[in-house]
Chain A
Amino acid sequence: MGRVGPDLRIRLGGVELPNPVVTAAGCAGAGRELDRFFDIASIGAVTTKSMMLEPNAGRPAPRMAETPSGMLSTTGMQGPGVDVFLQRDLPWLLSRGGRAIVSVAGTGVGEFGELARRVSDAEGVSAVEVNLSCPDPGAPAGRHFADDSERAAAVVRTVRSHTRSGLPVLAKLAADVPDLVALARSCVEAGADGLSMINTVRGMAIDTRSMRPAVAGGLGGLSGPAIRPLAVGCVYRVHEAVPEVPIIGMGGVRTGEDVMEFMAAGATAVAVGTTSFSDPSACARVLRQFTEALEARGVGRAADLVGAAHGSGAGV
């Protein structure tokens, strides 16, 4: 006798996922490594590592430094290039029954369009995520597309126009930008069907023995529970501004309760990122804990949680 559990299904743009727990880009490869620890098809989707047009060797070591409740990393988006990904990694994930949100990273606006076209032509993709934390070649060194709402919008517009209709385009936002809400609105107006937030936050750790930055290149991306309140605040503010737009919330998610928190702030789906480094079974565990938390509270539909912390209601 099967007991009917809560309805975990959620909708991102036009696509339905069986549950709201997904992986964060760059924290799960294309799912293959984590599938050794849990069934990769059991989670909502795998957001794949950001793919560039060409193979990319990434940054020199050291690429990583541990920080309080987090880590700094700077891999430089090492990867085999989008074509190898589409021929080798994506088919593997789909053959296992997994769902793919494909993250793309361009070195220019036009390249984002080409990436979108190639990903859009591949069968079985659930959504395209646009990594806006890529250096903008048209801006001073160190500036990302996300740092300028208009430049970010130009990228999103190009990706949307090169992506077949019905395939959602998600804009991945950074928190350390001049005006997050303006950035979110620009991306939505440019055609984003949803928003993913937040990317890592630029930070630094310095090795006080050598008096040099702990990771090559100086700045790294800070991730982990250290940024969770920052991320929850971002999701809350953006959901308040554009409540009709689905958000994948992320930043230091470690437990099922953290998923509840992000959904209450306004996220429709929630990504597990750095925690998969420290706990390779994390996605499956977080999904189980989330399901148990819904049951314990008598919540029948996960989607009912979205935005529960907003307004004057008593919440769930």
Chain B
Amino acid sequence: MSDNGPVQIRCPVLNVRRVDAYYAITVVAPGIAERFRSGQFVTVGVGGDHSSTLLRRPFAVHDVKPDYGGTVEFLFSVRGTGTAWLSERRSRDLLDVVGPLGRPFPLPRDPVNCVLVGGGSGGAPLFPLAQSLRRRGCRVDFVLGGASADRVFSALSARRIAETAAFTTDDGSFGTRGRVTDVLGRVIEEARSDAVYACGPMEMLRAVTAVAGSRGVPVQVAVEETMACGTGICMTCVVPVVGGDGITRMARACVDGPVFRGEQVRFDDVGTIPFDALGAPGWKGSSAARAAESARDIA
């Protein structure tokens, strides 16, 4: 057991609120709040102790505050029985929360210019990131997109925190009609961005990585994969990722991610086992690859 690792706690709900098309729940969770770094997520048990819905739901953390010793807010949309149950929670109900989980966004040492790109509820984890970057003296610009106006998350906060904030919607009901990548290139140029951070659907992350890459700007992406455990043991949330050693591995989004360097994610091969991945059918590993694997410290 380690002191800076995740904790599992029964947290009282402070409040549940509607935010456009989403719900936001704030829980009192000092142990999680004090350990949290932006990009990390929590998992929440749904349906109560005797529920037939076994699996925890993973949520990015939208906000952490020092009130009541430490509160954590996460955002979700109702997609099934689990999230419907969550949306019906009320103040003082208890939730079983585990966190913080996963690798956080790496932060730049110097006060550089950063553009933060979010799709739908994927915008949520960018807000604590923006605060961290601002505290380091970084310039922050936002690009947030969604299917429609009510799915562009927290436009007001984005305007308040960031130097500039651009918005896109698929239906044109808010901001520019189109995708975040339709405006990203312009934002990067105008803001002279040095780094891009992105969270959202895999397709969006692929496109953002391509736009940033074509301008030579490094990009960190936080993936949103379905997962059973969130702690690294179930092996269901894997994504093909190229390591620093050039070897592709089926990396666990929950513990090896959710944050990866964009260019290291093999977006074209998501949902497959690339033929050259470590241990793919017919794979013949070199002794060097094995030695590298053995030396790796995964946990």
Chain B, residues 1-26, CB within 8 Å of chain A (1/0): the string is 11001101000000000000000000
Q: Is A213 interfacial (CB 8 A cutoff)?
A: no
Q: Is A63 interfacial (CB 8 A cutoff)?
A: yes
- Contact A80:B293 (CB < 8 A) given known A59-B273, A69-B52, A71-B55: yes
- Contact A78:B290 (CB < 8 A) given known A37-B1, A57-B280, A71-B54: no
Contacts of A278 in B (CB 8 A): 45, 54-56, 229
- Contact A64:B273 (CB < 8 A) given known A37-B8, A57-B280, A75-B234: no
Judging by beta carbons under 8 Å apart, are B54 and A56 in contact?
A: no
A:41-84 near B, CB below 8 Å: 49, 54-64, 66, 68-71, 73, 75, 78-81, 83-84
Q: Is B83 interfacial (CB 8 A cutoff)?
A: no
CB nearest to A216 among chain B residues = B271
Judging by beta carbons under 8 Å apart, are A277 and B233 in contact?
A: yes
CB nearest to B249 among chain A residues = A57
Contacts of B298 in A (CB 8 A): 32
What's the minimum C-beta distance from A59 to chain B, rounded to whole angstroms? 7
What's the minimum C-beta distance from B32 to chain A, rounded to whole angstroms? 13
Contacts of A38 in B (CB 8 A): 1
CB nearest to B7 among chain A residues = A37
Judging by beta carbons under 8 Å apart, are B293 and A55 in contact?
A: yes
Judging by beta carbons under 8 Å apart, are A33 and B232 in contact?
A: yes
How distant is the Cα of A57 from the Cα of B255 in the complex, in angstroms? 17
Contacts of B281 in A (CB 8 A): 57
Contacts of B233 in A (CB 8 A): 27-29, 33-34, 276-277
Q: Is A88 interfacial (CB 8 A cutoff)?
A: yes
Q: Is A292 interfacial (CB 8 A cutoff)?
A: no
B:264-299 near A, CB below 8 Å: 270-273, 277-281, 283, 285, 290, 293-296, 298-299
CB nearest to B45 among chain A residues = A278
Contacts of A276 in B (CB 8 A): 229, 233
The 8 Å CB contact of A63, one of B54, B236, B249, B285, is B236
How distant is the Cα of A278 from the Cα of B231 in the complex, in angstroms? 10
The 8 Å CB contact of A57, one of B237, B271, B273, is B273
Q: Is B91 interfacial (CB 8 A cutoff)?
A: no
Q: Is A20 interfacial (CB 8 A cutoff)?
A: no
Judging by beta carbons under 8 Å apart, are A78 and B250 in contact?
A: yes
Q: Is B196 interfacial (CB 8 A cutoff)?
A: no
How distant is the Cα of A79 from the Cα of B235 in the complex, in angstroms? 9
A:6-40 near B, CB below 8 Å: 26-29, 32-39
How distant is the Cα of A83 from the Cα of B285 in the complex, in angstroms? 13
Judging by beta carbons under 8 Å apart, are B299 and A70 in contact?
A: no
The 8 Å CB contact of A277, one of B226, B228, B271, B295, is B228
Q: Is B188 interfacial (CB 8 A cutoff)?
A: no
CB nearest to A28 among chain B residues = B233
B:20-75 near A, CB below 8 Å: 45, 52-56
Judging by beta carbons under 8 Å apart, are A34 and B231 in contact?
A: yes
Contacts of A83 in B (CB 8 A): 290, 294
Judging by beta carbons under 8 Å apart, are A58 and B238 in contact?
A: yes
- Contact A66:B53 (CB < 8 A) given known A27-B233, A56-B279, A277-B228: yes
CB nearest to A278 among chain B residues = B54
Contacts of A224 in B (CB 8 A): 54
A:245-299 near B, CB below 8 Å: 274-281
Contacts of B55 in A (CB 8 A): 66, 71, 277-278
B:185-237 near A, CB below 8 Å: 225-229, 231-237
Q: Is A87 interfacial (CB 8 A cutoff)?
A: yes
CB nearest to B255 among chain A residues = A33
Contacts of B290 in A (CB 8 A): 55, 81, 83-84
What's the minimum C-beta distance from B178 to chain A, rounded to whole angstroms? 27
- Contact A78:B226 (CB < 8 A) given known A38-B1, A54-B279, A225-B54: no
- Contact A87:B294 (CB < 8 A) given known A55-B285, A73-B228, A278-B45: yes
Contacts of B237 in A (CB 8 A): 61
Judging by beta carbons under 8 Å apart, are A280 and B234 in contact?
A: no
CB nearest to A215 among chain B residues = B236
Judging by beta carbons under 8 Å apart, are B228 and A62 in contact?
A: no
Contacts of B294 in A (CB 8 A): 80, 83-84, 87-88
What's the minimum C-beta distance from B87 to chain A, rounded to whole angstroms? 18
What's the minimum C-beta distance from B103 to chain A, rounded to whole angstroms? 14
Chain B, residues 61-99, CB within 8 Å of chain A (1/0): the string is 000000000000000000000000000000000001010
Contacts of B273 in A (CB 8 A): 57-60
- With A57-B280, A59-B273, A66-B53 already in contact, 15 other A-B pairs whose C-beta atoms are closer than 8 Å: A26-B235, A28-B233, A29-B232, A32-B298, A34-B231, A57-B277, A57-B283, A60-B272, A63-B238, A64-B236, A66-B228, A81-B290, A84-B290, A84-B293, A225-B52
Could you show 27 A-B contacts with beta carbons less than 8 Å apart? A26-B235, A28-B233, A32-B299, A37-B1, A37-B231, A38-B1, A55-B285, A56-B279, A57-B279, A58-B238, A58-B279, A60-B272, A61-B239, A62-B271, A64-B227, A66-B53, A68-B52, A78-B238, A78-B250, A78-B279, A80-B294, A87-B294, A225-B52, A274-B54, A277-B54, A277-B233, A277-B234
Closest 10 CB pairs of A and B: A55-B279, A64-B236, A277-B229, A36-B5, A57-B279, A33-B232, A32-B299, A63-B236, A56-B279, A75-B235
